[in-house]
């Protein structure tokens, strides 16, 4: 699907990528349905709080340094802003960089919901510029601004003329998309359409889209071995730097769910190749991905040399630790890409994937092709296994854990592993997207798993003394029994 950069809005994932939030089946079925485009979404008659586009945008765009974000919303939508900023400030200080991004809310009140708040928004934009002199102001929308039909675009166009910096709308009303990862696209759309400028010249760098750049030093090193620089986005970038992503040799990413919009958008608009292979988690993932990068930027020999060096260093140790992990059964609950990529690593480490619960699932990416990691897993899994798309629904996860009784639960997104632990299942919250990236981190991931299952006292004691909220009736049902028929 072509990405349209002339509009302030863009298609949500359900429409663009055939994304679903309810599915139950097996890995082979999911792969084949993705290929034929036959996947249908299923709703639920019970649901629990999860995340929204707006929250996703605030958390992601705030990685950029020295901008202002104005959340045009009632106060509650902005409540998480201070913890987001704390996180980003710490990421910047790790690199010794100043970080002055602010998040403000217009705190819409009752009269705003009746009479509109474009006046407040206008004043807030001007006052924000006066106080903070940011490099740009991004205005994010909310359920409430969406429902009252606030003409945010016109206010922004108006104030944009009065101010010497870009003032950019990001449309991310929480109720619009069932897939909160649409927020990543909302942020990318704003950057692509309003910040990125046409290339002045070709640069000698690749764009690397990620979250928290914890593996930055190793990655810089890795690409230095190829003779190119790496530009990691959006964490700790400035707007000026971001505006030149169009000059890159290629765009690569830690996660296809995160990067589909920006990667494909840059490819379509500026011809910057976007690497679409499985991603660099585990050994196979890393090598497939790195070789493809080498091919695209013409550095095959350097890539092979690097791989050879690293293999010699780490593969023997990996073989050793695999012996101690063999046969452990693992349930995974993660986003549309990580769930299947980490599952591949689990199999590589000789553990068994008992079940995958993907939060949502994109049945294709913006290039029109089904996600390669699911195809890969379906082809290489030793046996077909059960998969669901569980929309971060805690009741489903606990039901699944109760049924499959794994040795370990792996999840991304805070607030999910805690429930496994309360139910007595050891769990690892894989907050760091580089956990299991490349050889070295795959090895340390293996050690982390060993550590985790070595002392199970915390979850054992806790789970035997507290009560969980679900009825016995629920634990007797199938995890997907509250799905509605496919529409």
How many CB atoms neighbour CB 238 within 10 A?
Answer: 13
Q: Is 54 a residue that touches other proteins (CB under 8 A)? A: yes
Please give the Cα distance from 356 to 476 (Å, whole number). 20
Q: Which stretch binds other proteins (CB under 8 A): 174-182, 272-280, 374-382, 439-447?
A: 174-182
Is the backbone peptide bond immediately before 234 cis, with ω within 30 degrees of 0?
A: yes
Q: Which stretch binds other proteins (CB under 8 A): 47-55, 402-410, 423-431, 455-463?
A: 47-55
Among 83, 93, 238, 369, binds other proteins (CB under 8 A): 83
Closer CB to ligand SF4, 55 or 265, in the complex: 55
Q: Is 473 a residue that touches other proteins (CB under 8 A)? A: yes
**Token pair in block for residue 66:** 């020295």
Please give the Cα distance from 413 to 393 (Å, whole number). 12
Closer CB to other proteins, 450 or 486, in the complex: 486
Q: How far is the CB of 466 from other proteins (least distance, A)?
A: 8
Q: Is 338 a residue that touches other proteins (CB under 8 A)? A: no
Q: How far is the CB of 65 from ligand SF4 (least distance, A)?
A: 24
**Token pair in block for residue 219:** 């990655």
Please give the Cα distance from 456 to 127 (Å, whole number). 53
Please give the Cα distance from 455 to 436 (Å, whole number). 21
Q: How far is the CB of 257 from ligand SF4 (least distance, A)?
A: 19
Sign of CA pseudo-dihedral 178, 181, 185, 186: positive
Q: How far is the CB of 393 from other proteins (least distance, A)?
A: 8
Q: Is 142 a residue that touches ligand SF4 (CB under 6 A)? A: yes
Q: How far is the CB of 117 from ligand SF4 (least distance, A)?
A: 14
Nearest CA to 377 out of 410, 348, 357 is that of: 348
φ and ψ at 116, to 5 degrees? 90, 160
φ and ψ at 67, to 5 degrees? -115, 170
Q: Is 73 a residue that touches ligand SF4 (CB under 6 A)? A: yes
Interacting residues with ligand SF4 between 31 and 60 (CB under 6 A)? 52, 54-55
Q: Is 55 a residue that touches other proteins (CB under 8 A)? A: yes
φ and ψ at 11, to 5 degrees? -75, 140
Q: Is 76 a residue that touches other proteins (CB under 8 A)? A: yes
Please give the Cα distance from 433 to 203 (Å, whole number). 27
Among 20, 21, 69, 77, binds ligand SF4 (CB under 6 A): 77
Q: Is 152 a residue that touches ligand SF4 (CB under 6 A)? A: no
Q: Which stretch binds other proteins (CB under 8 A): 198-206, 313-321, 372-380, 389-397?
A: 389-397
Residues paired with 428 in a beta bridge: 410
Q: Show the site string, 402-421: x = touches other proteins by CB under 8 A, - = not.
A: ------------xxx-xx--
DSSP 63-111: TSTT-EEEE-S-GGGGTTHHHHHHHHHHHHHHTT-----EEEE----HH
How many CB atoms neighbour CB 291 within 10 A?
Answer: 15
DSSP letter at 264? H
Q: How far is the CB of 175 from ligand SF4 (least distance, A)?
A: 6
Q: Can you give the binding site for ligand SF4, defined by CB under 6 A?
A: 52, 54-55, 73, 77, 142-143, 174
Q: Can you give the binding site for other proteins, defined by CB under 8 A?
A: 45-55, 74-83, 86, 102, 104-105, 107-110, 112-113, 120, 123-124, 127, 131, 143-144, 147-148, 174-176, 178, 180, 392, 394-395, 414-416, 418-419, 467-471, 473-474, 482
């Amino acid at each position: 699907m072509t990405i349209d950069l002339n509009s302030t809005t863009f298609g949500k994932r359900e429409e663009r990528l055939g994304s679903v939030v309810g599915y139950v089946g097996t890995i082979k079925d999911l792969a084949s349905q993705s290929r034929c485009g036959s996947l249908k979404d299923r709703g639920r008659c019970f649901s629990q709080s999860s995340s929204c586009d707006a929250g996703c945008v605030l958390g992601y765009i705030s990685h950029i340094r020295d901008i202002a974000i104005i959340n045009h919303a009632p106060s509650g939508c902005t409540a998480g802003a201070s913890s987001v900023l704390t996180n980003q400030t710490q990421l910047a200080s790790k690199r010794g960089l100043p970080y002055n991004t602010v998040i403000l809310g217009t705190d819409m009140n009752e009269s705003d919901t009746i009479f509109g708040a474009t006046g407040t928004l206008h004043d807030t934009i001007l006052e924000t510029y006066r106080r903070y002199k940011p490099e740009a102001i991004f205005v994010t929308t909310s359920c409430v601004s969406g429902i009252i039909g606030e003409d945010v675009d016109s206010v922004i166009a108006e104030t944009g003329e009065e101010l010497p910096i870009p003032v950019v709308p990001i449309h991310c009303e929480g109720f619009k998309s069932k897939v909160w990862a649409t927020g990543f696209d909302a942020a990318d759309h704003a950057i692509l359409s309003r910040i990125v400028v046409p290339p002045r010249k070709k640069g000698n760098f690749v764009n690397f889209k990620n979250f928290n750049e914890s593996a930055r030093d190793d990655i810089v090193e890795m690409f230095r071995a190829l003779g190119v620089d790496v530009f990691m986005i959006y964490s700790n970038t400035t707007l000026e730097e971001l505006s030149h992503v169009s000059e890159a040799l290629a765009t690569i990413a830690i996660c296809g769910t995160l990067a589909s919009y920006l990667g494909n958008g840059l490819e379509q608009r500026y011809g910057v190749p976007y690497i679409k292979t499985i991603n660099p988690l585990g050994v196979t993932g890393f090598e497939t991905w790195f070789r493809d990068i080498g091919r695209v930027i013409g550095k095959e020999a350097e890539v092979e040399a690097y791989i050879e060096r690293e293999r010699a260093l780490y593969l023997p140790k990996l073989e050793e630790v695999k012996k101690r992990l063999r046969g452990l059964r693992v349930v995974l609950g993660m986003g549309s890409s990580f769930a299947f990529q980490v599952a591949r690593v689990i199999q590589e480490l000789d553990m068994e994937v008992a079940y995958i619960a993907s939060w949502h699932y994109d049945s294709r990416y913006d290039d029109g092709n089904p996600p390669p990691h699911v195809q890969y897993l379906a082809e290489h899994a030793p046996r077909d296994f059960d998969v669901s798309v569980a929309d971060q629904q805690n009741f489903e996860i606990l039901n699944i854990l109760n049924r499959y009784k794994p040795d370990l639960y792996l999840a991304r997104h805070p607030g999910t592993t805690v429930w496994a632990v309360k139910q007595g299942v050891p769990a690892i919250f894989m907050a760091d997207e580089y956990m299991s990236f490349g050889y070295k981190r795959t090895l340390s991931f293996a050690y982390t798993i060993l550590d985790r299952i070595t002392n199970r006292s915390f979850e054992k004691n806790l789970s035997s003394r507290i009560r969980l909220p679900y009825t016995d009736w629920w634990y007797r049902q199938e995890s997907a029994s509250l799905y509605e028929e496919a529409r």
